[in-house]
Amino acid sequence: MSVKCISLLVDFATQVIRITIFYKWRGTKMAQMPALIPKEVEIQRLKKIYIFVICLGSIAASVEVDNFVDGSLHQTAIRDSAFTPAHWWLYSHFVALPIGWGMVAMYDRRVPVLRGPGNSMNTGLKITIIGYLATMFTIGVNELWHFWFVEEIFSVPNHWMFNMGVVVAFMGALAYVVRVYARLVELGAETPAKNPYVAELYKLALEGKLYSRSIP
């Protein structure tokens, strides 16, 4: 086994230990937090989370665009290496996204209703962060692979983790966004709105009729 492979495995094990310690520490801190906060405060915090998630979604959409750019470039002009320009854009996403979702997880503990089982981190957030951490680890594996096999073929095994990691992360992010949105609708229906039209919209959303064409 080469020195690079050993270095990658040691780094991966170190990251797993750090994440485990962080989860344990964070769970203890969250257990000490009050279970209830004022509705107005909770709405403001949920809106901040929602805006931040939209920004992260824009970055994730940019990843999909660069996937086509990177694949087209490697199959027409430049053989795959760690220094091709398309990789600067592509790999920067897989650093920015785990950090961004980690920031969401840090702020998420200020909204008690979003906690997971046993006062732990929200399950959707866990899945999202694990998915993107998997893609970060795969960057090293991918470059190690292309050191010997420089032709870009999408079906090679080193690309499987990229795809699986991103899909898992998207599933977790979708579950988390739906939970945040549902809670915002609940709070909106419970909080009296100054505009009666807005109050009616909240009521319809809570009943699942907001987008129904059968509404008279």
Instruction: Give the model's pLDDT for residue 80.
Output: 64
Instruction: Give the model's pLDDT for residue 87.
Output: 75
CA distance 150 to 165: 22
pLDDT tens readout for residues 162-183: 778 888 888 999 999 988 888 8
- Burial bucket for residue 35 (CB in 10 Å: 0-12, 13-18, 19+): exposed
Phi, psi of 167 (to 5 degrees): -65, -45
CA distance 4 to 17: 20
Cα distances (Å, whole numbers) of residue 69 to 59, 75, 147: 15, 10, 21
What DSSP line would sit under 52-93, residue for residue? HHHHHHHHHHHHHHHHHHHHHHHHHT----TT-HHHHHHHHH
Instruction: Give the model's pLDDT for residue 85.
Output: 73
Q: Are 186 and 206 spatial neighbours (Cβ–Cβ below 8 Å)?
A: yes
pLDDT tens readout for residues 8-21: 555 555 655 656 66
Which residues contact residue 3 at a Cβ distance below 8 angstroms, ignoring those fewer than 6 apart? none
Instruction: Give the model's pLDDT for residue 26.
Output: 55
Q: Of 110, 141, 111, 104, give the one whose Cα is nearest residue 126.
A: 104
pLDDT tens readout for residues 52-99: 999 988 888 887 787 777 777 777 766 666 667 777 777 788 888 888
Q: Are 116 and 47 spatial neighbours (Cβ–Cβ below 8 Å)?
A: no
Instruction: Give the model's pLDDT for residue 102.
Output: 86
CA distance 3 to 12: 14
Instruction: Give the model's pLDDT for residue 4.
Output: 52
Instruction: Give the model's pLDDT for residue 32.
Output: 47
CA distance 132 to 179: 20
Instruction: Give the model's pLDDT for residue 142.
Output: 76
Amino acid at the residue 209: K
Which residues contact residue 81 at a Cβ distance below 8 angstroms, ignoring those fewer than 6 apart? 146, 150
pLDDT tens readout for residues 118-159: 767 888 888 888 888 888 877 777 777 777 776 666 677 777
Average pLDDT, the chain: 74
Q: Are 145 and 156 spatial neighbours (Cβ–Cβ below 8 Å)?
A: yes
Average pLDDT over residues 25-30: 52
- The yes-or-no verdict on residue 31 having pLDDT over 50 is no
Alpha-helical (H) ranges within the chain are 3-31, 39-76, 85-108, 123-148, 160-190, 196-206
